[in-house]
């Protein structure tokens, strides 16, 4: 079943007297349970497409259906509900509140969703345990490593049990070893049934996904399934 159905969408920004055509007639479907990477150089349209997928922006023309509902027909409250409950966002810069501990940072989407305090804490603790940070839930961001901060951000994305996890350059502020650990976590989340959409310009990061959509100059240049490499074990 399609969780995302985009047909012939285009996006044009008017900047003074100039028109910038960020996306041109893009069509793509993403099924529930897929692990997809969206790749492209700077200016390719991948950030614009990510904003569309995350219901942060709307197309100039074309159709976007999220779980079968036409996004263009939704009001601001409908869009806010989807962003809060149906999409788990993971950002390059973590976007954590510095003065709040990990538990409270993970609780935030539940606070916006009107969940009571007892249930919020239970679900946030469950999400932190899910990313192996149960022993760090009362630490503030400045008491955590970069990888641990990103795990908190992933726990926050998971806490509402969303339809998709949308990750924008999630390893961009991490060293290679820590980035690999975060990508291993995404692989585990995918195996558990989560739908993951990863936006990146790094080839080795995209190769963790099972499908790569390549954008260039606002159009889909290639959409391919990735043959997963099997790494032989050494006896």
Per-residue DSSP letters for 108-177? HHHHHTT--HHHHHHHHHHHHHHTT-GGGTT--GGGS-HHHHHHHHHHHHHTT--SEEEEESTTTTS-HH
pLDDT for res 17: 87
What backbone phi and psi angles, to 5 degrees, belong to 10?
A: -130, 155
CA distance 5 to 70: 9
CA distance 85 to 111: 11
Q: Is 210 helix (H, G, I), strand (E, B) or coil?
A: coil
What is the chain's pLDDT, residue by residue, as a tens digit (235 residues)?
A: 789 999 999 999 998 889 989 999 999 999 999 999 999 988 899 999 999 999 999 899 999 999 999 998 999 999 999 999 999 999 988 999 999 999 999 999 999 889 999 999 999 999 999 999 999 999 999 999 999 999 999 999 999 999 999 999 999 989 999 999 999 999 999 999 999 999 998 899 999 999 999 999 999 999 999 865 444 444 4
> How many of the other CB atoms lie within 10 Å of CB of 209?
25
CA distance 189 to 104: 22
Q: What is the dihedral of CA 219, 15, 93, 225, to 10 degrees?
A: 0
CA distance 173 to 62: 34
Cα–Cα distance list, 76 to 10, 12, 82, 110 (Å): 21, 21, 10, 19
Would you tell me the crossing angle of helices 102-112 and 146-158 to the nearest 10 degrees? 30
From first CA to last CA, the distance across the chain in angstroms is 41
Question: What are the structural domains of the chain?
Answer: 33-58+75-225 (3.40.50.300)
What pTM did the predictor assign? 0.90
CA distance 62 to 66: 13
Q: Which residue has the tokens 């916006």?
A: 112
CA distance 220 to 217: 8
pLDDT for res 146: 94
């Amino acid at each position: 079943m399609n969780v995302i159905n985009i047909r012939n969408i285009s996006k044009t920004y008017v900047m003074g007297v100039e028109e910038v055509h960020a996306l041109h007639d893009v069509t793509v479907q993403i099924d529930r349970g897929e692990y997809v990477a969206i790749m492209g150089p700077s200016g390719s349209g991948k950030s614009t497409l990510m904003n569309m997928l995350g219901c942060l922006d709307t197309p100039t023309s074309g159709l976007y259906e999220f779980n079968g509902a036409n996004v263009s027909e939704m009001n601001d409250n409908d869009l806010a509900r989807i962003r809060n409950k149906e999409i788990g966002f993971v950002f390059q810069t973590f976007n954590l509140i510095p003065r709040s501990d990990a538990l409270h940072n993970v609780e935030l989407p539940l606070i916006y969703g009107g969940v009571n305090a007892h249930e919020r804490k239970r679900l946030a603790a469950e999400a932190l345990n899910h990313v192996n940070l149960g022993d760090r839930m009362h630490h503030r961001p400045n008491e955590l490593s970069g990888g641990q901060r990103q795990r908190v951000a992933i726990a926050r994305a998971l806490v509402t049990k969303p339809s998709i996890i949308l990750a924008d350059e999630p390893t961009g502020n991490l060293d290679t070893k820590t980035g690999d650990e975060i990508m291993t976590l995404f692989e585990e989340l995918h195996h558990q049934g989560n739908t993951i959409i990863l936006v990146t310009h790094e080839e080795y990061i995209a190769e963790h996904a099972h499908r790569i959509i390549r954008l260039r100059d606002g159009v889909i240049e290639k959409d391919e399934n990735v043959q997963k490499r099997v790494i032989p074990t050494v006896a």
